[in-house]
């Protein structure tokens, strides 16, 4: 039977700042526990720490640093840095692990910790369980001569900027391109604008003035309305929306229409197919739009569906030796370019196809037709096994009979919040909406708060 983690969820450890385990004392102990695991295999390990722009990052950075040092680990501080940049820099600096202090697209009152291995991928479950085992032990401190030291990497941003630019051919010139870039007042505020400027584009920035509490506040990949308005107002070719830690991408075409992660992944997959750079299936999730699956099939490509969460997408990509995977939320993994979801790198891949094809983003997204999809989040009183709630299972069977093969539905507990996501999609918008609302009503009555 698979062991369930006590603290680690699908994307590290996350929660409300000040509520256990997102507290300074826990972060001190977590740093020590991580250090103990690393010291089992290396007597002089080093760890990189990056963070997004939320104010609590300072507090947790210091606590993690102290815990790691107490275990005998050297620490290299990156300051505000996108999650994918930490993955990249962990590899290039030959560190034993990378730590990101971020709650991604969540508001400033949340925070969390994500880890990368020395190869720039999320930690294996077995390593997470070893860390949790140390968290249940009493904290000790190594001899003073073996305490870890901390230093700061001054050129981290510049290294990452050059890496991003290198993921597309240098011959591609975007000097005739005007774009709006929304940095979500997050970790990309000082790296995304230079990347797109240095490949030649004229860049208008929004959401690039973080103050510690405005991260993801009305801006970014989860709230693209301001970007849509700005693209139309500025008469830009397109817009790019990143989230607070820079691993998500949503784009906006010149008409102000959103181009989501499924559509972007399809554009990149089609581009790779025609250039001969595609290998293996395209990996999506159980939430990936059915229209994308059908569009890929028409190109002779196969879609494999993983559970929701970029770590599961990456695991399936590795299993099938796939180069492309992603989620509708905008986590896109171009495994031929980097090891994890990277909003900036993904945007550049789309830009490369725009340059090669001579088409607009609006024209490229017409290559697939999205099926109507309704997603309703139901807040839970407490986490529960939906399979054991009879009323929900009866309603699910009724919904499937009503769809009659013309769509699909999914009930999925969130991995990071006390929510059940009710998703229904199909060819008939009115039917999809009706079925989703009826199913969500039953879920709310049975287990909702």
Peptide bond into 324 cis (omega under 30): no
pLDDT of amino acid 1: 35
Pick the catalytic residue: 56, 102, 104, 329?
104
Cα separation values, 432 from 261, 360, 371, 394, 425, Å: 21, 31, 10, 18, 6
Lookup result for tokens 């990101």:
100
The residue among 184, 189, 192 whose CA lies nearest residue 347 is 192
CATH classification number, 373-447, choose in 2.70.98.70, 3.40.50.1220, 3.90.1860.10, 3.30.310.50? 3.30.310.50
Query: In 3-state terms, what secondary structure has residue 242?
Result: strand
Beta strand 324-326 pairing with 332-334: antiparallel
| Chain Cα centroid distance, residue 448 | 27
Provide the pLDDT for residue 202.
Answer: 98
At 4 the pLDDT is 67
Catalytic residue list contains 175: no
User: If you classify domain 13-154 with CATH, what class do you get?
Assistant: alpha beta
Helix axes 125-135, 24-41, angle to 10 degrees: 120
Distance in Å from the first CA to the final CA of the chain: 31
Shared fold status for 13-154 and 160-365: yes
Residue 124: DSSP 8-state: P
Residue 415 has a pLDDT of: 67
DSSP string, 133-202: HHHTSPP----GGG---EEE-TTHHHHHHHHHHTTS-TT---TT-EEEEE-TTSTTTTTHHHHHHHTT-E
180 pairs with which residues across the strands?
204, 239
The pTM (predicted TM-score) of the whole model is: 0.92
Rounded CA gap, 351 and 345, in Å? 10
Q: CB within 8 A of 173, min separation 6: which ones? A: 199, 200, 355
CA-closest candidate to residue 30, choices 44, 45, 13, 15 = 13
Ranges of residues in the chain whose predicted pLDDT is under 50: 1-2
d(CA 116, CA 340): 10
- Distance of alpha carbon 183 from alpha carbon 195, whole angstroms: 12
Query: Running DSSP on this structure, what letter comes out for residue 123?
Result: P
Other Cβ atoms less than 10 A from the Cβ of 160: the count is 27
Where are any strands of DSSP class E within 260-353? 282-285, 303-306, 324-326, 332-334
pLDDT in tens, 355-376: 999 999 999 999 999 999 999 9
CATH number attached to the domain at 160-365: 3.40.120.10
Domain boundaries, given as residue ranges, for the chain: 13-154, 160-365, 373-447
- Using DSSP's 3-state secondary structure scheme, residue 395 falls into helix
CB-based contact 228:239 (threshold 8 Å)? yes
């Amino acid at each position: 039977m698979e062991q369930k983690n006590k603290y680690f969820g699908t994307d590290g450890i996350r929660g409300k700042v000040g509520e256990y385990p997102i507290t300074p004392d826990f972060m001190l102990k977590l740093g020590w526990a991580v250090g103990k695991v690393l010291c089992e295999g290396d007597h002089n390990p080093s760890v990189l720490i990056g963070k997004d722009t939320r104010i609590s990052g300072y507090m947790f950075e210091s606590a993690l640093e102290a815990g790691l040092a107490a275990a005998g680990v050297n620490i290299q501080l990156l300051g505000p840095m996108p999650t994918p940049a930490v993955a990249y820099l962990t590899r290039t600096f030959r560190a034993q692990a990378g730590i990101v202090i971020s709650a991604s697209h969540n508001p400033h009152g949340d925070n969390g910790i994500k880890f990368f291995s020395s190869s720039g991928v999320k930690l294996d479950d077995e390593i997470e369980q070893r860390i949790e085992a140390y968290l249940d032990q009493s904290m000790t401190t190594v001899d003073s001569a073996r305490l870890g030291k901390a230093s700061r990497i001054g050129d981290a941003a510049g290294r990452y900027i050059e890496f991003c630019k290198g993921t597309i051919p240098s011959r591609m010139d975007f000097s005739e391109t005007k774009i709006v870039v929304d940095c979500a007042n997050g970790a990309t505020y000082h790296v995304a604008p230079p990347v797109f400027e240095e490949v030649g584009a004229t860049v208008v920035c929004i959401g690039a003035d973080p103050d510690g509490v405005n991260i993801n506040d009305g801006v970014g990949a989860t709230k693209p309305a301001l970007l849509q308005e700005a693209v139309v107002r500025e008469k830009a070719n397109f817009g790019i929306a990143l989230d607070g830690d820079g691993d998500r991408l949503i784009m906006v075409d010149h008409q102000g229409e959103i181009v989501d992660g499924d559509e972007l992944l399809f554009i990149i997959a089609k581009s790779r197919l025609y250039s001969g750079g595609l290998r293996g299936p395209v990996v999506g999730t159980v939430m990936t739009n059915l229209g994308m699956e059908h569009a890929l099939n028409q190109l002779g490509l196969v879609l494999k569906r993983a559970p929701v969460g970029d770590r599961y997408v990456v695991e399936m990509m590795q299993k099938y030796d796939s180069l492309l995977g992603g989620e509708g939320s905008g986590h896109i993994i171009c495994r031929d370019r980097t090891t994890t979801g990277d909003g900036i790198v993904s945007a550049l891949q789309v830009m490369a196809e725009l340059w090669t094809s001579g088409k607009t983003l609006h024209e490229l997204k017409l290559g697939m037709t999205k099926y109507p999809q309704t997603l309703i989040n139901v807040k839970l009183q407490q986490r529960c096994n939906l399979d054991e709630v009879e009323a929900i299972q009866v309603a699910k069977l009724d919904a499937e009979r009503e769809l009659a093969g013309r769509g699909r539905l999914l009930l999925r507990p969130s991995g990071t919040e006390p929510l059940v996501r009710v998703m229904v999609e199909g060819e008939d918008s009115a039917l999809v909406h009706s079925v989703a609302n009826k199913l969500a009503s039953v879920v709310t009555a049975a287990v909702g708060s």
